[in-house]
């Protein structure tokens, strides 16, 4: 405190340091948790990826051997990459298009619209394990509901997840059932499309398809881009549905001819069934690089996204 009770510059600086120290003390539990449970495991997994480590023994440095074996020798690894890319490249666009069309339908002025919205959203809050077991029964080749309906229509039955040709399309079809979260996001975005633009297009003679393509989609493009990024990251980590359905059906994850062996499933097997932690860590870092590259590519090609401030 200076002359006449006026704070000096050094006093103010001291108070600032005290405020900073007090703020750090309050957020220290979060900082410690982040360092211990996030940063430390990430750094250790990077180190383990260059070692032969089985948890029970000390890590043995092997350099790039894990990465070399994955890329050049491991056929299951290549199959897992193919299966995962199949879901990302084929399954993801199908789901996003389906969710957008459902959002358009649920945005129309019809009686009981709130009820329909609730029905479409409810599957998304159902536990994934329960959903997978339910669809496992639906897809049963002999007694399942899907083949029962096909037989009633006079159509040939399908092996569904028991058939390597139909296994991944079966999961894509199942995934369309619980897209309620994405539908909800699209519904909210549809409310933000300027009504005056749609009315102007209608006065100019534009039909519903033209208005959707040239007005609604550009106005929603930032939201579509967001759901594309988030769902892409999620599809690269596709795990629970395939794991539950294949393990419950045959007792071994991966499905017929490993047609449902996805990347994270194989990573989990190496880490917690085969206890090849170094090998699994290498897989985790390869997956990180793949997701990073895919995300950067999407941002580089995002010229179709229209921001209203532009």
Mean pLDDT by 10 residues, the chain (310 residues): 55 78 89 92 95 92 96 95 97 96 91 88 90 92 92 93 93 91 94 90 88 92 96 95 80 82 95 94 97 96 82
The pLDDT score that the predictor gives to residue 148 is 94
Is the residue at 166 inside a domain?
yes
The pLDDT score that the predictor gives to residue 250 is 57
Range of the domain at 262: 65-304
> Is the domain of 24 the same as that of 173?
no
Nearest Cα residue to 130 out of 283, 13, 252, 241: 241
Is the residue at 59 inside a domain?
no
Nearest Cα residue to 292 out of 236, 240, 247, 241: 236
Is the residue at 54 inside a domain?
no
Helix (H, G, I), strand (E, B) or coil at 51: strand
Q: Which two tokens stand for residue 226?
A: 């967001």
Is the residue at 293 inside a domain?
yes
Nearest Cα residue to 218 out of 195, 193, 201: 193
Q: How far is CA 234 from CA 87, 253, 265, in A?
A: 10, 20, 14
Q: Are 188 and 117 in contact (CB under 8 A)?
A: no
> Is the domain of 108 the same as that of 36?
no
Is the residue at 32 inside a domain?
yes
Name the burial class of residue 103, with classes exposed (0-12), middle (13-18) and buried (19+) by CB atoms within 10 angstroms of its CB: buried
| Dihedral, 259, 290, 237, 305 alpha carbons, nearest 10 | -110
* Global confidence as pTM: 0.87
Go through the chain and tell me how many residues it has.
310
The pLDDT score that the predictor gives to residue 200 is 92
The pLDDT score that the predictor gives to residue 8 is 63
Q: How many whole angstroms separate alpha carbon 35 and alpha carbon 285?
A: 19
The pLDDT score that the predictor gives to residue 59 is 94
Q: Which residues pair with 51 in a beta bridge?
A: 61
> Is the domain of 31 the same as that of 79?
no
The pLDDT score that the predictor gives to residue 152 is 93
The pLDDT score that the predictor gives to residue 7 is 54
> Is the domain of 85 the same as that of 187?
yes
> Is the domain of 87 the same as that of 196?
yes
> Is the domain of 44 the same as that of 74?
no
> Is the domain of 42 the same as that of 72?
no
Q: What is the CATH number of the domain that holds 109?
A: 1.10.3720.10
Our count of domains for the chain comes to: 2
Helix (H, G, I), strand (E, B) or coil at 252: coil
DSSP state of 228: H
Is the residue at 232 inside a domain?
yes
Long-range contacts of 105-111 (CB under 8 A, 24+ apart): 106/183, 106/187, 107/187, 107/190, 107/191
Helix (H, G, I), strand (E, B) or coil at 266: helix
Q: How many whole angstroms separate alpha carbon 129 and alpha carbon 308?
A: 41
> Is the domain of 13 the same as that of 72?
no
The pLDDT score that the predictor gives to residue 248 is 63
């Amino acid at each position: 405190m200076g002359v006449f009770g006026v704070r000096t510059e050094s006093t103010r600086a001291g108070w600032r340091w005290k405020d900073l120290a007090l703020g750090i003390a309050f957020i220290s539990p979060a900082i410690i948790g982040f360092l211990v449970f996030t940063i430390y495991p990430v750094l250790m997994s990077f180190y383990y990826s260059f070692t032969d480590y089985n948890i029970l023994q000390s890590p043995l440095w092997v350099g790039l051997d894990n990465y070399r074996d994955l890329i050049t020798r491991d056929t299951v690894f290549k199959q897992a990459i193919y299966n995962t890319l199949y879901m990302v490249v084929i399954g993801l666009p199908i789901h996003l298009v389906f969710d957008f069309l459902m959002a358009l339908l649920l945005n129309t002025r019809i009686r009981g619209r709130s009820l329909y919205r609730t029905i479409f959203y409810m599957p998304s809050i159902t536990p994934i394990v329960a959903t997978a077991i339910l669809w496992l029964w639906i897809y049963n080749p002999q007694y399942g509901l899907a083949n029962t309906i096909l037989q009633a229509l006079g159509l040939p039955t399908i092996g569904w997840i028991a058939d390597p040709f139909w296994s991944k399309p079966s999961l894509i079809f199942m995934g369309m059932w619980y897209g309620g979260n994405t539908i909800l996001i699209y519904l909210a975005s549809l409310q933000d499309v300027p009504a005056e633009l749609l009315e102007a297009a209608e006065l100019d003679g534009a039909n519903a398809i033209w208005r959707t393509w040239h007005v609604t989609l550009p106005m929603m493009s930032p939201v579509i881009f967001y759901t594309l990024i988030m769902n892409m990251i999620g599809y690269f980590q596709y795990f629970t549905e395939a794991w539950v359905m294949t393990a419950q059906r045959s007792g071994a994850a991966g499905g017929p001819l490993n047609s449902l062996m996805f990347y994270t499933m194989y990573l989990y097997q190496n880490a917690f069934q085969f206890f090849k932690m170094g090998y699994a860590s290498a897989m985790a870092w390869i997956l990180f690089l793949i997701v990073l590259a895919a995300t950067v590519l999407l941002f580089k090609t995002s010229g179709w996204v229209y921001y209203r401030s532009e």
